[in-house]
Amino acid sequence: MPDCVFCKIIAREIPGTIRYEDAEVLAFDDIHPVANTHILVIPKEHIATAKDLTEEHQTVLFKLFVVAKKLAQEQGLAGYKLHLNVDTAGGQDVMHLHFHLLGGEFKTSGGETRV
């Protein structure tokens, strides 16, 4: 297994607040939320960045969107953001592909905003 914090959450080697799990996808709260709802939605397969996606990942990529939709419904969000940072130069810190599901009130330096 790569030395990867999200793989360790999948393996329950480090704790996380799990919001959804199936054979291919895991979703858990971001440890530093920037919005009322800030959930990370990840494939269980270690895919480092969106640059590493191939045709084989079509099904799991689709599932990430479906899980995000379900979680947003559960959270009562009328709309939401799905944020994806791609590689270090794109602001990605954890090299395990993840969508940030963001909704509700945002904690910004300029005050609170809503999607």
List residues with catalytic annotation: 98
Q: Are 36 and 112 in contact (CB under 8 A)?
A: no
Q: Which of Zn ion, ligand AMP, none does residue 5 bind (CB under 5 to 8 Å by kind)?
A: ligand AMP
By CB under 5 A, residue 46 contacts Zn ion: yes
Task: Out of 36, 63, 85, 104, name the contact with ligand AMP by CB under 6 A.
Answer: 85
Is residue 94 a contact residue for ligand AMP (CB under 6 A)? Answer: yes
Q: Taking the C-alpha atoms of 60, 44, 102 and 80 in order, what is their torsion angle to the nearest 10 degrees?
A: 20
Contact criterion met (CB below 8 Å) for 42 and 25: yes
When the beta carbons of 16 and 103 are compared against ligand AMP, the nearer one is 16
